[in-house]
Amino acid sequence: MIKILRNIKKFFITLRNKHRFDSYIIWSMLILILIGIITQSTTADQDTFQKHLLYLFLGIPVFYLGYKFPLPLLKNFSWLIYLLSIGFLLWVNIYGSEALGAQRWIRIGGFSMQPSEIAKIASIIMLSTWFSARPIKKFTDMIIGGLLISFIPFVLIFIQPDLGTSLVLIAIFAVISFWSGATSFQLFLLFSPLLIMLLSVIGHENLNLGSFSVLNKEIKMTCSYLGLFSIAIISAFVFYKLNLNKKKYGILFLILFTSFSLFLAFLARPLAWNILKDYQQTRLIIFLNPEQDSQGAGYNIIQSLLAVGSGRLLGQGYKHGPLTQGDFVPEQHTDFAFSSIGEEWGLIGCTIVLICFMIICIRLLSLTARSNDSFERLLLSGIFALIFFHFSVNISMNIGLLPVIGVPLPFISYGGTAIWICLFLMGISQNIFSKNRVQAYY
């Protein structure tokens, strides 16, 4: 046995030295994939579990493709990849298959493809290409081009509706813009209207300013207390950051900014809010107090919290979680896979998952900082944004810190397109690592 283990170790060392993989990222990814296999074996039915294994098996050449793909070719064909992703999104919005209240999938034979997943990688490549040639030097540089590139897929994905994936695109744009030269305050100022609109629809309609009619449809001007509080905090921060008290028209600018923010807040529900399906609206309202609808919209969150909490330190054991085995947590093989890990493997299992994701993210950031090529650097920052957003939001959903917005857990949740995209991006990261001109690190 000891001799076999030594041979396995020798094989991986040889493989690492030959291909120059970042061993920390590779081992963390393999551990997460193994945890995903164990989780799917206990949460999914036999057919779904076999498909998950097939997706992983087919993901091996996908990872290798990313590892060997010529990066200059990826940059040269970025516009084609981006336009193809837009074409797929238009196709799915017209002819796509509907499931769970959303039209997100294209069925090809016995498999389903999710074009929004392809849009993630297309946006990363396109934004990296654009900003590597046009670094951000002023606020308008960020808006002209970069924002337009992200805006089209954002709208097409948002109307499916798929709130989680559309927010991923915003995170990717923000991180790539930051590494391209945008300051934190510029990003805050750009996204503050979206933040205000988002916070204004979380919670109940606490403030009602009446209604008006447009095309025989009543539009209610409502806002939550959380939205009003966010406006006050953001306006005060803008006032402080821009030193408006020292400028001639500073107070006027603050009044206009606050008024515009209030306008957005009160229009958020009747405009952006009505685009969402009823179940998505309910999720945004209910997550702050899921007990008020424990058998309806709050059921998923409550069951997930019970599952994670019941695991305690060491967990209930493999296939011994009563909530997991009793299918009390809906979608536990996709969005709520982490709750199953918490119940059956406890705090220890959850900690291992968190450590693996943090190692991957830290190594990606480290390689981003060390890369000499601007395109490769922005590409890595986009990969970091995708992985970090997915795991942090998914885990926050499972423990009730964020609304349920349908974001899978990378390498663990079931889903073919999502798994392949993550593996392809990890392959690209190793591609850049192996060719990086700075000193390699292990």
- The Cα 382–Cα 173 span in angstroms is 8
Domain assignment present for residue 228? The answer is no
- The Cα 442–Cα 423 span in angstroms is 21
One-letter amino acid of 279: Y
- The Cα 123–Cα 100 span in angstroms is 26
- Asked if 336 contacts 342 with a C-beta cutoff of 8 angstroms, the reply is no
- The Cα 149–Cα 143 span in angstroms is 10
- Res. 217: pLDDT tops 70: no
- Res. 88: pLDDT tops 80: yes
Q: What is the pLDDT of residue 10?
A: 59
In percent, the amount of the chain with pLDDT more than 70 equals 75
Nearest alpha carbon to residue 390 among 427, 363, 349, 353: 353
Helix axes 148-158, 115-133, angle to 10 degrees: 170
Average pLDDT, the chain: 79
Tokens encoding 230? 């966010």
DSSP secondary structure of 353-422: HHHHHHHHHHHHHHHHHH---HHHHHHHHHHHHHHHHHHHHHHHHHTTSS-----PPTTTS--HHHHHHH
- Asked if 285 contacts 204 with a C-beta cutoff of 8 angstroms, the reply is yes
Tell me which of 146 and 396 has the higher pLDDT: 396
Average pLDDT for 338-348: 88
Would you call the peptide bond into 161 cis, given omega within 30 degrees of 0 as the criterion? yes
Tokens encoding 37? 């296999």
Q: What are residue 203's phi and psi, to 5 degrees?
A: 100, -175
- The Cα 66–Cα 69 span in angstroms is 5
Q: What are residue 211's phi and psi, to 5 degrees?
A: -150, 165
- Res. 124: pLDDT tops 90: yes
| Chain segment 220-249, per-residue pLDDT in tens | 667 777 777 777 787 777 777 776 666 666
- The Cα 441–Cα 103 span in angstroms is 44
Domain assignment present for residue 277? The answer is no
* Residue 361 belongs to domain spanning: 19-175+294-435
What is the signed CA dihedral for 155, 156, 158, 160, rounded to 10 degrees? 160
| Chain segment 134-148, per-residue pLDDT in tens | 888 887 788 877 778
Q: Give the predicted TM-score (pTM) of the model.
A: 0.83
110 pLDDT band (50/70/90 cuts)?
Answer: low
In degrees, rounded to 5, the angle at the alpha carbon of residue 298 between the alpha carbons of residues 296 and 304 is 120
Average pLDDT for 156-170: 83
- Asked if 88 contacts 115 with a C-beta cutoff of 8 angstroms, the reply is yes
Tokens encoding 151? 């805006």
Domain assignment present for residue 124? The answer is yes
Count Cβ neighbours within 10 Å for each residue of 42-55 and write b for 16 or more, e otherwise: bbbeeeebebbeeb
- Asked if 323 contacts 306 with a C-beta cutoff of 8 angstroms, the reply is yes
Domain assignment present for residue 311? The answer is yes
Name the burial class of residue 218, with classes exposed (0-12), middle (13-18) and buried (19+) by CB atoms within 10 angstroms of its CB.
exposed
- The Cα 147–Cα 86 span in angstroms is 15
In the chain, the largest separation of any two C-alpha atoms, in whole Å, equals 79
Half-sphere exposure of 81 (CA within 13 A, CB side): 19
Domain assignment present for residue 234? The answer is no
| Chain segment 22-81, per-residue pLDDT in tens | 889 999 999 999 999 998 888 888 888 888 899 899 988 999 999 988 888 989 998 999
- The Cα 293–Cα 15 span in angstroms is 53
Three-state secondary structure along 295-312?
Answer: CCCCHHHHHHHHHHHHCC
Domain assignment present for residue 204? The answer is no
One-letter amino acid of 207: L
Tell me which of 67 and 202 has the higher pLDDT: 67
CA of residue 332 relative to chain centroid, distance: 18
Domain assignment present for residue 223? The answer is no
Gyration radius (Cα) of the chain, Å = 23
Number of domains in the chain: 1
Domain assignment present for residue 288? The answer is no
- The Cα 199–Cα 409 span in angstroms is 24
